[in-house]
Each structure stands twice: as C-alpha cells, then as structure tokens.
Amino acid sequence: MRFLERGDLAGCFGLTLDGDSHLARAVPSLTGHGGPEKAYAATRSLTISIALLAALAEALGHRQDALRAVLDAPATVPVEPAVATLRGAHAVVFSARTALNGIAEAGALGLLELARMPGFALEGGQFRHGPVEALAPGFGVVLMRADDEAGRLLPGIAAICVDAGVTPVVFDAGDGAPIAGCVTLRFPPARGFAAALAMLPTLQMLLIEIARTRIERVGEPLRSQKVTRVE
C-alpha cells in the first residue's frame, strides 16, 4: 500500500481478488472476482490466483490445456496416511522446486495458521544443504514433485530424510515409481500450474486434518485477521 501511494506506477499492473481493493484502484488490474479472502488455509484465493497467472501465461502464448484438464477432473487423494505420519511432528518443512515452490510456501503458512505449529518452506536446493542438519525422528517433511527435470532430483533429498529417521510425505505428480521409505500421495503426471492446482485441495485437507489432531475450533483465529489492514 505504501508503494502504491509513493511509487512510480507507470507500467505497473495488478493481480487482485477484490475489484475494489487499494491495488485495483491504483493500477490496471486483472481481477478474480469473489471478494477478499476471509478464511485461513486459503485454497479459494490461491486457486483463483493460479488461474489469473495462467491466463497471463496463455495470453503470452503458453497454452494451459493441462490446467483446464485438472479443473475438469480434480484429483481425489486420501490424506489419512500422511496425517498419521505428520501428526506427531514438532515442526514440518515443506519443500519443492520450480512452479511448486509457491504451493510449498502455502503449506507452511497454512500449518502455522491452522495447527499453530512451526512450518517452514524451503526451496529444494536450499533445503538439501544446511537445513538438513535439523532432520531427526519427530521432524516432519513434505516434498512435492512435478513431472519435470527438477522433480527428478527429489529422490536424493528423500533419501537423506529417510537416512535421518524421517518419513517424508511426497505429493507426487511425477511419472516415476514411488520413492522408497516415503508416504506417497499420488496425482496424475503434471507440471507447472497444472501440478500446483492439482495438489492444492489435497494440501488444504492435509493441513486441516493435522490441525484437528492438535487444537479445537480449527480455523478460528485468536490474535489475527486474514486481511492485514495495519502494520
């Protein structure tokens, strides 16, 4: 908001969920209508944001047929094995590469908001180095794999986790075999926006179910509000 009030807005455009937002009033904006987000673990706003970004990509010549296929036939993936694996964790790292990075970040934020426990998002290469020193039994790891070159690197970090006594949960939209020692939530092979959108509803359900094992009145904030209006 401060940038919009003071910055040079020439050539700027916005992406917003609220056509009456400060951003929409300040610059030309691509708007996903439906009003501002009110809930935690905000799958609706993330889904709309991915759709808006995909619309931009398609306008630049990158067809989004795979994303439309995900919307037409959303995956239904049971989360109970993953909940059983993560329910006793004292902290969870969510890690991915390329287009799935944002979904990993959403997972960590949603865990903080809903389950009120530490959640961290680390890009795959970043996680592989210094942060793996924290791995030990009782530490949770959620890895995300797409059907791309970066996804083919995931077995390496999964093996490091298993050797440290951690059972990773893998959101897997790759085309390879399940990774030994992991709990796998399997999705149809996909990459980019399509992979992210395929995983998002299942991720939200996982966060909610983990939170239900830890606290009462899941999703009811104690100290905050969804839309920040003051610093």
pLDDT by residue (tens digit) across 101-160?
A: 999 999 999 999 999 999 999 999 999 989 999 999 999 999 999 999 999 999 999 999
- Give the end-to-end CA distance of the chain in Å, rounded to a whole number: 11
DSSP conformation letters of 68-130: HHHHHS------HHHHHHHTT-SEEEEEE-GGGHHHHHHHHHHHHHHH-S-EEEEEHHHHHTG
Q: Check pLDDT > 70 for residue 227.
A: no
Q: What is the pLDDT of residues 77-113, one digit of tens each?
A: 999 999 999 999 999 999 999 989 999 999 999 999 9
Tell me: the pLDDT tens digits for 59-69?
A: 999 999 999 99
For residues 206 and 84, is the Cβ–Cβ distance under 8 A?
A: no
Report which of 113, 103, 96, 98 is spatially closest to residue 47, judged by C-alpha positions.
103
CB neighbourhood size of 3 (10 A) = 10
Burial zone of 7 (CB within 10 Å; 0-12 exposed, 13-18 middle, 19+ buried): exposed
Are 194 and 179 within 8 A, CB to CB? Answer: no
If phi over 0 gives left and psi between -120 and 50 gives alpha, with beta otherwise, what is residue 116?
A: left
The C-alpha atoms of residue 164 and residue 184 are separated, in whole angstroms, by 18
pLDDT band at 2 (very low <50, low <70, confident <90, very high): confident
Q: Of 193, 219, 4, 227, give the one whose Cα is nearest residue 112.
A: 219
Q: Determine the average pLDDT of the residues in 44-57.
A: 88
pTM above 0.75, yes or no: yes
Q: How far apart are CA 149 and CA 40, in angstroms?
A: 32
Q: What backbone torsions phi and psi does residue 95 show, to the nearest 5 degrees? A: -140, 140
Q: How many CB atoms lie within 10 A of CB 40?
A: 20
Domains detected in the chain = 2-68 (no CATH), 77-212 (3.40.50.10490)
Position 54 pLDDT exceeds 60: yes
pLDDT, tens only, 162-188: 999 999 999 999 998 999 999 999 999
